[in-house]
């Protein structure tokens, strides 16, 4: 759905920017939302608020050492896994 008619910005585009961590002010600067007539500001702010609340939080490195994952024997012995391309990288 088009939220900003003046700049032809959709709710999906606003949501994509909000999920990327941008604030309303940053989205407004980037896309021009609510900078001309202002009729879309309430709707655009609602979209940003909804997406910001649903945005998953990135994992934080707490200093825990990374552990290797052991592959199941069926996976490790697969012909597809042991192609020359993969064996060169190992």
Q: Where are the beta strands (DSSP E) in the chain?
A: 2-4, 9-10
- pLDDT(58) > 50: no
Tell me the pLDDT band of 12, cut-offs 50, 70 and 90: very high
CA distances from 3 to 11, 36, 37, 82 (A): 6, 13, 12, 51
Q: pLDDT grade, residue 51 (50/70/90)?
A: confident
Q: Is 51 helix (H, G, I), strand (E, B) or coil?
A: helix
Angle between helices 11-19 and 24-31 (to 10 degrees): 130
pTM exceeding 0.75: no
> How far apart (Å, rounded) are the C-alpha atoms in residues 71 and 69?
6
Confidence of residue 35 (pLDDT cuts 50, 70, 90): very high
Instruction: Give the pLDDT score at 68.
Output: 57
Beta bridge partners, 10, equal: 2
């Amino acid at each position: 759905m088009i939220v900003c008619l003046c700049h032809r910005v959709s709710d999906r585009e606003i949501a994509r920017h909000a999920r990327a961590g941008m604030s309303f002010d940053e989205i407004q600067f980037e896309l021009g939302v609510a900078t001309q007539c202002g009729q879309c500001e309430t709707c655009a702010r609602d979209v940003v608020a909804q997406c910001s609340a649903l945005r998953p939080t990135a994992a934080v490195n707490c200093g825990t050492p990374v552990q290797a994952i052991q592959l199941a024997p069926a996976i490790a012995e697969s012909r597809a896994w042991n192609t020359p391309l993969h064996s060169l990288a190992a």
